[in-house]
């Protein structure tokens, strides 16, 4: 890899497998499966294939919130997809998500299974299926969906831009870090101003907009991602801090963030979730180390 500042791109890009960086082993310029592997299927109508990254946590929080609201049809089996081991490229996973990224959902409650991929689409699908956490009234609905789609458009600049160049790239490039640090702080300020005037992003009600934004920007606000809390002075965003704490205190959020988690305190890791009782009996501190 040429890491000098006088790099000139060649006329035709070629795949340099040794380019380095944190995710180099799973990055490819082509789509499609790399190997045959069927996905497991459990007993519940909803099958979730995921991992407790911010994009994955959105869906497990949503499902736990739906269950807490009394929607028994939201019972789910959550299977872990180890993306660092390339499990997102198995043929069964690619059938559910041709984009090979977690989270992916299969709704087997009807005659024909319905696949849903992209976390925003999954949140909308579940909100519409159960008539919950997405306001019906036109203006409130528009505000909620605006913030939901704000997250989908903004987080790639935070993760793929700021996080990548600040924490993961094999060389520290001042231009890239400056550019994306500015954007990450601008995004935090967008949220801070909204949360100064409104309890939740969509308005006075907690909605799928909060469920989508919190795993990314709540984690950023608490310095939990990219080791960048001090660099971005996240404590200055007081309204984001208030909202982050408020959402973190919700019991369904506490449960949802544990599902498909394979790092951190053993008591915070529930690798697979097949029953509400699993939170009490199947976290890693209660299982044999290899389970």
Residues interacting with ligand GSH, by CB under 6 A?
A: 26, 53, 55, 83, 88, 100-103, 118-120
Nearer CB in complex with ligand GSH: 85/280: 85
Q: Which residues touch 61 (CB under 8 Å, ≥6 apart)?
A: 211, 214, 215, 252, 253, 256, 257
Nearer CB in complex with ligand GSH: 224/276: 224
Give the phi and the psi of residue 11 in degrees, each rounded to 5: -60, -35
**Bridge partners of 104?**
49, 117
CB of 168 to ligand GSH, least distance (A): 13
Nearer CB in complex with ligand GSH: 90/120: 120
Nearer CB in complex with ligand GSH: 66/102: 102
Angle (nearest 5°) at CA 220 between 258 and 283? 10
CB of 118 to ligand GSH, least distance (A): 5
CB of 220 to ligand GSH, least distance (A): 14
In residues, how long is the chain?
291
Distance CA 212, CA 218 (A): 10
CB of 100 to ligand GSH, least distance (A): 6
Nearer CB in complex with ligand GSH: 101/271: 101
CB of 150 to ligand GSH, least distance (A): 13
Nearer CB in complex with ligand GSH: 84/281: 84
Give the phi and the psi of residue 119 in degrees, each rounded to 5: -60, -35
**Residue whose token pair is 């996905």:** 39
Query: What does the block give as tokens for 275?
Result: 């029953």
Which whole-number Å values give the CA distances from 66 to 73, 218, 265, in the listed order? 9, 21, 26
């Amino acid at each position: 890899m040429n890491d000098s500042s006088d790099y000139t791109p060649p006329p035709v890009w070629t795949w340099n497998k040794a380019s380095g960086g944190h995710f180099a082993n799973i990055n490819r310029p082509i789509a499609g499966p790399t190997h045959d592997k069927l996905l497991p299927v459990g007993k519940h109508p909803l099958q979730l294939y995921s991992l407790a990254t911010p994009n994955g946590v959105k869906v497990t929080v949503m499902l736990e919130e739906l269950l807490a609201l009394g929607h028994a049809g939201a019972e789910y089996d959550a299977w872990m997809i180890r993306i660092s081991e390339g499990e997102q490229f198995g043929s069964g996973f690619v059938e559910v998500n041709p984009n090979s990224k977690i989270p992916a959902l299969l709704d087997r409650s009807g005659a024909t299974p319905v696949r849903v991929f992209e976390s925003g689409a999954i949140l909308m699908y579940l909100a519409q299926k159960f008539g919950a956490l997405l306001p019906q009234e036109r203006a409130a609905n528009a505000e909620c969906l605006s913030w939901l789609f704000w997250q989908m458009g903004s987080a790639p600049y935070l993760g793929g831009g700021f996080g990548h160049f600040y924490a993961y790239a094999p060389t520290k490039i001042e231009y890239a870090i400056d550019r994306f640090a500015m954007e990450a702080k601008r995004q935090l300020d967008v949220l801070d101003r909204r949360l100064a005037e409104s309890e939740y992003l969509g308005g006075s009600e907690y909605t799928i907009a909060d469920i989508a934004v919190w795993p990314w920007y709540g984690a950023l606000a608490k310095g939990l991602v990219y080791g960048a809390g001090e660099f971005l002075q996240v404590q200055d965003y007081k309204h984001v801090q208030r909202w982050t704490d408020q959402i973190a205190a919700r019991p369904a959020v506490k449960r949802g963030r544990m599902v498909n988690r394979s790092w951190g305190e053993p008591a915070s890791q529930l690798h697979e979730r097949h029953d509400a009782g699993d939170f009490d009996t199947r976290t890693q501190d209660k299982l044999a180390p290899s389970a």
